[in-house]
Structure 1
């Protein structure tokens, strides 16, 4: 019984690591995705085409493989050129790898949402002397945010589940903790089902949050 309680506590610790990883990926991935989307809408071919190519390649590679390439590739680069001055931990490697995936997908979502903003509104803002940056922040971005929120919710749920892949490079997240507990207690069904239940609770708890965000973002808009 004591072992079960101890490993149960470790499972909770792993769940906190999973959430920390997911929120880090969400913040970095959304920011990077918005930047990539802005670059994709650029009129300069030299800016737009490389970004389109890189995001297409990234979306065509399995997340598991990206995690391996980023973690071991970065670790090898750091050891070769920086020595022991910098260490790429499994957490950092996981955040970078999953953020690349998240940013590539979200860039397409943002690009489509930005393109759906009526051109007349942008031209009207410019006619009133509003700068391009202010037009983007005050007019295009709020409307694009409202449009892409449901897709961001789906991507967030995918990120929660994809965090389990990072355990392969040594991160002691919830799945890793469940595997350790299952091995030492010889009760794999108990701990893997417990981990599955916690994943489900995480996803269920996020649903009303995104519904609230969608409601706030849609304030003032009439439904057709």
Structure 2
């Protein structure tokens, strides 16, 4: 007979799944803002901004994600402790959201930059002909079209981010992987509980994929109109 309570750890594991989803959403929000700003910097005629954005994306994409997490968690704690003169430990959720946001932002930068470059040049000229300012042109004309082009790659990267949240368990975040580990240690049933965790990751990833497939269909329909 199947134990739907998972030996009493069902609620614990589901709570970990919720934490995983929340840290992924927080990192997405942070990374999206970074991606927009860095994409704008890369496309800027100011060399210092484009070089800074290029250095950021090259550096973040060139080192392991786990290293970024450790640097933010331990480096941030050490910096705050030094500045404030007392021992400070950064919250694992905050460190995870910021570090994964930095990683996601590096990839989002290229996604947004590529999408903006794919918008036909005539759209920029049409916006200028209507008397829109640079900001107005971007917000009302360029950004909506760029977003439609960016949706497929953005959705794929978000799915990757969801799976990368498992790395944050190494700095103490009680996410799906860490709470699953608690169940494994208590019951000595690693295969069963890690299989359950795998199913939950699949369900979350599948749900995100369907959401972005729907968004992609709607944006494609709107673009066709």
* Band of TM-score, shorter chain: over 0.9
| Aligned counterparts of 2:4 and 2:143: Cα–Cα separation in 1 | 53
Q: How far did 1:5 drift? A: 3.7
| Runs (5+) with no aligned partner, structure 2 | none
**2:119 alignment counterpart:** 117
Distance, in Å, in 2 between the alignment partners of 1:3 and 1:106 is 39
Partner of 1:138: 140
**Equivalent-residue separation in structure 2 for 1:3 and 1:153 (angstroms):** 32
SS in 1 for 2:45: coil
CA offset digits 1:52-97 (Å, max 9, x no partner): 1121111001101110111100000111112459651011111110
Q: 1:179, 1:197 → 2: CA distance?
A: 15
- Of residues 23, 26, 32, the one that matches 2:25 is 23
Shift of 1:219: 2.7
**Paired residue for 1:171?**
173
- Taking structure 1 as the reference length, the TM-score comes to 0.94
TM-score normalised by structure 2 residue count: 0.94
Q: Which of residues 9, 12, 15 in structure 1 aligns to 2:14?
A: 12
The answer (yes or no) to whether the contact 1:146–1:218 under 8 Å persists in 2 is: yes
Question: What is the correspondence of 1:70-109 to structure 2 with a 5 Å cutoff?
Answer: 70-83=72-85, 87-109=89-111
Alpha-carbon distance, 1:128 to partner: 2.2
Superimposed CA distance per residue, residues 154-179 of structure 1 (whole angstroms, 9 cap, x where no aligned partner) = 11111110000000001110100111
Does the Cα contact within 8 Å between 1:4 and 1:185 map onto a contact in 2?
no
The gaps in structure 1 that reach 5 residues or longer are: none
**CA distance in structure 2 between the partners assigned to 1:109 and 1:215 by the alignment:** 19
Q: Runs of at least 4 residues of structure 1 off by over 3 A? A: 1-5, 83-87
**CA shift digits 1:12-70 (9 cap, x unpaired):** 11111101101111111112111110111101101111111121111001101110111
**1:37 matched to which residue of 2?**
39
Alignment check: 8 A CA contact 1:34 1:110 kept: yes
Q: In the comparison of the two structures, how many residue pairs are matched?
A: 223
- Which of the residues 184, 193, 196 maps onto 2:195? 193
TM-align CA RMSD: 1.8
Equivalent-residue separation in structure 2 for 1:73 and 1:43 (angstroms): 33
